[in-house]
Amino acid sequence: MRLAKYIAHAGVASRRASEQLIFDGRVTVDGNIVTDPARDVDDGNEITVDGDTVAIEKTVVYAVNKPLGVISTASDPEGRTTVVDLVGTEKRLYPVGRLDANSYGLMLVTNDGDLAQKLSHPRHGVPKTYRVRVRRGSPLSRGELAHLAAGVELEDGKTGRAEVTKTGPREFEIVISEGRNRQIRRMCEAIGRDVGELQRIKFGPLELGRLKEGTARRLSAEEVESLWQNVDLPPAGKQSKPKSRGNSRSGRGKTR
């Protein structure tokens, strides 16, 4: 296994951050500083980061139903509750992407830096589904919803196409594959609407389902495999077999 991947799988940092640790000379293999992220290593090597020995621990992924007010980070200097606090484990975990404090719903946390980086990176276009309720005003028009679906001009560029379904006079569901900061709130502001409630109900193939607010559930091997398939898909027009990951089988799991 390549050194950067090993460090990421050990839960130290994401793949990209692990590469930077290596470039900075903070990693040793069998007592020698190594600056090549592609160096092959295995469990027979002694690997340290900043002098601390690291080893691959069993990777885990949790689905969390984040309540309002909970912070989408691994820790908070102000002592506020974080999404990682809701998992209740001693493992070093970090969230996959973010939901702002005024939004709630499905989040993923993991110690697999490689998977987290891929699920978060816009290049992979993992779809995420949200329920949105705008504040008082006239019912949403077809034109407004069509505008959101076609893409909205924001200060950081036009958003990509989205799937938008009206579910009430001032409510709709939207599926996006981007991850810009406060994107849905800014999209609504661009059409003159103010978001009153924003809930994520689906992340890739995983659904929030009946997971209680403020609780977490560890994903099964099949569910984790379904996430990997979202980021390991071949280019359009080509077919390839799913990557083997132990004895797990591919599947489309739901968070219950």
Helices 113-120 + 15-23 axis angle, to 10: 120
Quote the CA–CA distance of 173 and 99 in Å, as a whole number. Answer: 16
Catalytic pick among 30, 40, 43, 100: 100
Here the tokens at position 102 are 């005024």
Residues 130, 51: Cα–Cα separation, whole Å: 43
- CA 229 to chain centroid: 14
For residue 104, the cross-strand partners are 199
Residue of 2, 11, 4, 44 lying closest to 27 (CA atoms): 4
40 among known catalytic residues? no
Give me the sign of the Cα torsion angle 209, 212, 213, 219. negative
Contact 36, 29 (CB under 8 A): no
> What positions carry a catalytic annotation?
100
